[in-house]
Amino acid sequence: MTDTSPFMAELTTQINQLPQRVQAVIGPVPATSARLLRQRLFNLYPATTNARLGVVPELIDLAIALNPPTFRPKPLTVSEVAMAHANAYAAQMVTGRAHQLLNQSQLAPAACRTAEADIEKIWLGNLDRLTLNFNQRMRVADYLNDSKSRFGQLAALTCFLTTRTHQTPATVTDLTMAIGESLGVAQAILDDVQATNQVASFQQQLLTGNYTLPLLFAVEAEPDYFHRLFNQPSKPTNEQLITTQALVLQSGEKPALEIAAELINQAELDGLGLSDDLVKSQLTGLLTAIMAEVKGE
């Protein structure tokens, strides 16, 4: 997927309006695959010109990245504790900016209240994810529920905002949000697969308890191996990490990609219910691009 520059430019503009100290904590904001997906979802209705409204989900996503619901189970240095607090404070400022944009928009009051409620659901999803991380008892079903409540909800919020901007019928809004939710989860899975194939990313996620879907499938396939790995008294050796990555790719990558494909197919079926031919054409192009990622094309 390519960058949709007006959105990244608008996101940068919003960040630049925050205090300099907050900007310093935030640093560069990457055009991630999930962000680019949401931008394309917002552009399903090409007449949209309100890029400011489109970056509301991106600000929430940025706030989550600053204060993620995962952590590394190790003693923290004073510097790390200070940075964690700084990130949390900056996340509050970024979230406040998102709410400000909503309140300044031309959306009807009822639509604003719905968007506010959706944002609250996303933060509750992060709270649930933190609990899963702390208890270290995540399973495939937990992962899918978590991804739906956070990444799926963010994409659905994007779809809600663009359809409400166009004042589409409620049934169209609901259908478009369902498509966004499916694709948001599918993209999260694809990002997991990519991270699993990269040594540094895989090891970092494993050691922070940020378990990917391929890893969880591998845990189900090889429970004895992972029980020993997760319960050993010391940190895994480099050799163990390499062995674990190979096992995850062997046992977990294929079923994870199969679920991603199922979600894309579901989005395609939902898309049949849309009446706008231009929107359907835009969606077909998006689905084709994501399915190509699933197939490794």
Task: Report pLDDT digits (tens) over 2-15.
Answer: 444 677 888 999 99
Average pLDDT, the chain: 90
| pLDDT above 60: residue 226 | yes
The predicted pLDDT at position 72 comes to 66
Which pLDDT does position 131 carry in this prediction? 86
Rounded to an integer, the average pLDDT of 92-117 is 93
| pLDDT reported for residue 233 | 83
The pLDDT value given to residue 75:
73
Per-residue model confidence (pLDDT) at position 258? 97
State the pLDDT at residue 208. Answer: 76
- Rounded to two decimals, the pTM is 0.91
Residue bearing the bigger pLDDT, 136 or 62:
62
Report whether pLDDT(230) > 90. no
Query: Quick check: 197 pLDDT over 90?
Result: yes
Range with the lowest mean pLDDT among 112-126, 187-201, 204-218? 204-218
Residue 49's pLDDT is: 56
Q: What is the DSSP string of the chain?
A: ----HHHHHHHHHHHHTS-HHHHHHH------HHHHHHHHHHTTSTT---HHHHTHHHHHHHHHHHS-S---SSPPPHHHHHHHHHHHHHHHHHHHHHHHHHHHSS--HHHHHHHHHHHHHHHHHHHHHHHHHHHT---HHHHHHHHIIIIIHHHHHHHHHHHHHTT--HHHHHHHHHHHHHHHHHHHHHHHHHHHTSHHHHHHHHHTT---HHHHHHHHH-HHHHHHHHH-SSPPPHHHHHHHHHHHHHHHHHHHHHHHHHHHHHHHHHHTT---HHHHHHHHHHHHHHHHHHTT-
pLDDT tens-digit map of 16-75: 999 999 999 999 998 899 999 999 999 888 665 577 888 999 999 999 999 988 776 667
Mean pLDDT of 188-201: 94
Q: Would you state the pLDDT for residue 204?
A: 84
Quickly state the pLDDT bin for 209 (edges 50, 70, 90): confident
Q: Tens digits of per-residue pLDDT, 232-283?
A: 888 888 899 999 999 999 999 999 999 999 999 999 999 999 988 889 999 9
